[in-house]
Each structure stands twice: as structure tokens, then as C-alpha cells.
């Protein structure tokens, strides 16, 4: 069980090493807590099936473990060969909870691959109840002028095109009571001078959430968003220089980044019947009050 003191949590090691994108969980120092030993479920998602993109590590793994312990079968998508071991570790925890798990390598930038992933899940399990759009790409730049056309294209195609493609693929299989959950960011509310393109996509995700919620209300499909603040995931050492990593999260009330498991409960709540009256909302789990 998690310690109730919010000041107790991860502090990046002084010698925290950078990783190539997208990063791997096994190289995190200190290790991240995805809820492997701390999350306790109580059947809130019993009998449901869920897809989670970016589900091999970080927030995605924490949500996969939480969903499984709440009774859902979980299909996780991930991008690169270097994440194979992380994806298999997530599968291990899902299956340890007694639930089925599909592990699928694909690229959310491809509409065809998004559709193929969804069709595989529905073909094997016969239903889809929850889609969690969580895959993300970011790369920090000190100079605005250093954002290349290639980086800009990759950021937008991963972070917003991919969310739209996955929602389009999932929608024919969703019914009243189904849920789409998007991962936004505090950067989409406050901006970030080193992550201008990334922040722009996260702002787009927030508005995408509200727009799609309005569009799908007559079908009884809810659409919501979790907007995290700093979270200790492989994306951080994979996209920031070491000196930034050491300072990561120190501007929060608790002077540290969140553990992935500290976000998982928000996704469970929004996916469950407890939140059946909630749609089009941005749940900000940032560790501080917005300054803007």
C-alpha cells in the first residue's frame, strides 16, 4: 500500500543517465512504482476490456496493472523493439492479476496500424469497452528555432494524430457506457518553453477531449482526459539532459515527480461507473495548483 505522506516519493539520482528515446523502465534510477506491490483493486472494472497505448512502462504500465486488478482484460500497445522486455513485464503483472493480456507492437502515427491493433483485440476478445490514448513523443529544445520539421511532424503525428486514429478505429466497437480516456499534460494548460511543440499537442488533446465528448454524448460514450504534472517515467531521461532530470518535479508542492501509480487511480475512476456522469473533463493530477 502507498505511504500516505505525499512527500515520500522518487527523487532522480544525481548520476541519472540519459537514455535514447523512447527509454526503458529497467534503466530508471530510482525504479518507478507502477503499483506492482502497492495498488489494490476492488472490482471497479470487472469484465471489461481495455486498450492502452504506450502501455509497456510509465503511466501506461501503471494503468494496465490497476485495470487488471480492477477486473479488466488489458491490451497494451508499444512502439519499439527496445521496449519488448518492458512490454512483457507489463503482461506478466496483468496475467498475475488473473486477467488476459495482448501485447502489440505498432506505431500510432499509422492509421492502418491503429486500426489493425483494435481489430486484433476485438477479434480475439469480442468487445472493447475502454480506450486509453497514452502514447507520447517529446524532445526538449532550449532554442525554439531548433525544433526541426522532422521533430514537429513526429510530435504532432504521435500525440494528436495517433489519438484521433485510435479513437476512429475504436468507435465502431464502442457502445453506451464505453469510455475513451486521453492523457494530456500540465504543459497543455501552462505551456513549457523547452517543450513548445509537445505542449501544443497536449493543449490540442484537451480540446479534442471536450469536442469528442460533445460529439459522442448521444451515444452514451464518455470522453475524459487525465492531465499529469511531472511523472517519473522513461520518457524523462530519454528526452531531457541529465541536469534537467535531477531537477525534475522539484517545483511541485512535494518537491518531487509523481510515481506512475499515483496517476493510475484517476484513470480507474474515469473508466468506472463511479464517473458515469462525467464527460468532457480534464482531471489535472499535477502536485500543485496551476499558476496560470
Edge-first strand order for the sheet with 73-78 is 101-105, 73-78, 49-53, 130-133, 179-183, 222-228, 282-285
What are residue 180's DSSP bridge partners?
Answer: 131, 223
Three-class SS of residue 45? coil
Give which of 216, 221, 209, 41 is closest to 128, Cα–Cα.
221
How far, rounded to the nearest angstrom, does the alpha carbon of residue 257 sit from its chain's CA centroid?
Answer: 15
> How many other C-beta atoms can be found within 10 angstroms of the C-beta atom of residue 26?
11
Per the annotation, the verdict on 198 as an active-site residue is: yes
How many beta carbons lie within 10 A of that of residue 124, not counting itself?
Answer: 12
- CB-CB contact of 25 with 89 (8 Å): yes
3-state helix, strand, coil in the chain (%, to 5): 45, 15, 45
Residue 85's CB is within 10 A of a number of other CB atoms, namely 14
Q: Catalytic pick from 163, 198, 253, 267?
A: 198
Question: Which residues are designated catalytic?
Answer: 198
Amino acid at each position: 500500500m502507498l505511504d500516505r505522506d505525499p512527500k515520500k516519493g522518487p527523487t532522480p539520482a544525481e548520476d541519472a543517465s540519459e537514455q535514447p528515446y523512447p527509454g526503458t523502465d529497467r534503466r530508471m534510477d530510482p525504479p518507478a512504482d507502477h503499483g506492482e506491490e502497492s495498488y489494490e483493486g476492488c472490482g471497479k472494472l470487472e469484465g471489461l476490456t481495455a486498450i492502452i497505448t504506450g502501455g509497456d512502462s510509465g503511466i501506461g504500465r501503471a494503468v494496465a496493472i490497476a485495470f487488471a486488478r480492477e477486473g479488466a482484460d488489458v491490451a497494451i500497445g508499444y512502439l519499439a523493439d527496445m521496449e519488448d522486455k518492458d512490454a512483457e513485464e507489463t503482461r506478466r503483472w496483468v496475467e498475475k492479476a488473473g486477467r488476459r493480456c495482448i501485447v502489440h507492437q505498432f506505431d500510432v502515427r499509422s492509421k492502418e496500424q491503429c486500426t489493425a491493433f483494435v481489430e486484433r483485440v476485438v477479434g480475439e476478445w469480442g468487445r472493447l469497452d475502454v480506450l486509453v490514448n497514452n502514447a507520447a513523443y517529446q524532445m526538449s529544445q532550449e532554442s525554439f528555432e531548433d525544433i526541426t520539421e522532422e521533430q514537429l511532424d513526429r510530435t504532432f503525428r504521435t500525440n494528436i494524430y495517433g489519438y484521433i486514429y485510435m479513437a476512429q478505429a475504436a468507435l465502431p466497437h464502442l457502445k453506451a457506457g464505453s469510455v475513451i480516456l486521453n492523457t494530456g499534460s500540465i504543459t497543455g494548460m501552462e505551456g513549457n518553453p523547452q517543450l513548445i511543440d509537445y505542449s501544443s499537442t497536449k493543449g490540442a488533446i484537451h480540446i479534442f477531449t471536450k469536442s469528442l465528448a460533445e460529439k459522442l454524448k448521444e451515444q452514451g460514450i464518455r470522453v475524459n482526459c487525465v492531465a499529469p504534472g511531472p511523472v517519473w517515467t522513461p520518457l524523462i531521461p530519454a528526452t531531457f539532459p541529465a541536469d534537467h532530470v535531477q531537477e525534475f518535479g522539484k517545483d511541485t508542492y512535494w518537491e518531487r515527480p509523481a510515481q506512475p501509480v499515483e496517476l493510475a487511480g484517476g484513470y480507474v475512476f474515469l473508466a468506472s461507473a463511479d464517473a458515469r456522469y462525467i464527460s468532457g473533463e480534464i482531471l489535472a493530477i499535477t502536485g500543485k495548483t496551476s499558476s496560470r
